[in-house]
Structure 1
Amino acid sequence: MMIPDLQQLAAWLADTDIGLLELRTPQGHVRLRRDGAMPENDVLEELQGNAEASVPAPVAASKATATPPAVASSVGVFLHHHPLRGAPLAPPGAGVQAGQTVGLLQIGALLLPVAAPQAGVVASMLAAHGSLVGYGTALVELHPSMPPPTDR
Structure 2
Amino acid sequence: MTTLQNDFASFQIPTAGETAQIIGWLRNAGLDSLEVTAGERSFKIVLSPASVPATTAFQAPAPRPKGDEPVAVKSPYFGVLSLLRPMQDAPLAPVGSAVTAGETVALLSIGPMQISVTAPCAGTVAEVLAQTGDLTGYGTTILTLIPRHN
**TM-score, length-scaled by structure 1:** 0.51
Alignment-derived partner of residue 143 in structure 2:
140
Q: Which amino acid aligns with 2:93?
A: A
In the alignment, structure 1 segments of 5+ residues that lack a partner are: 1-16, 18-62, 148-152
Alignment-derived partner of residue 118 in structure 1:
121
Q: Which amino acid aligns with 1:70?
A: V
> In structure 2, which of residues 95, 98, 104 is the aligned counterpart of residue 95 of structure 1?
98
How far off its partner does 1:109 sit?
1.2
Larger radius of gyration: 1
Q: Specify the SS of the correspondent of 2:130.
A: coil
How far off its partner does 1:146 sit?
6.7
Q: How does 1:72-83 map to 2 (within 5 A)?
A: 72-83=75-86
Q: Distance in 1 between matches of 2:128 and 2:148?
A: 17
Contact 1:75–1:134, Cα closer than 8 Å, also in 2: yes
**TM-score, length-scaled by structure 2:** 0.52
Root-mean-square deviation (CA, aligned residues, Å) is 2.4
Contact 2:71–2:147, Cα closer than 8 Å, also in 1: no
Residue 131 (structure 1) aligned with residue 140 (structure 2) = no
Aligned length: 86
Alignment-derived partner of residue 70 in structure 1:
73
> Per-residue displacement from partner, 1:88-136 (whole Å, max 9, x unpaired)?
1111100001111111111111111110010100012111111001001
In the alignment, structure 2 segments of 5+ residues that lack a partner are: 1-27, 29-64
Q: Specify the SS of the correspondent of 1:99.
A: coil
Runs of 4 or more, structure 1, over 4 Å off, are none
Q: Distance in 2 between matches of 1:94 and 1:121?
A: 6
| Structure number with higher relative contact order (C-alpha < 8 Å, ≥ 6 residues apart) | 2
How far off its partner does 1:144 sit?
2.0
Contact 1:67–1:118, Cα closer than 8 Å, also in 2: no
Q: Distance in 2 between matches of 1:82 and 1:95?
A: 16
Q: Which amino acid aligns with 1:129?
A: T
Q: Which amino acid aligns with 1:105?
A: L
> In structure 2, which of residues 101, 105, 109 is the aligned counterpart of residue 106 of structure 1?
109
Q: Distance in 1 between matches of 2:69 and 2:80?
A: 27
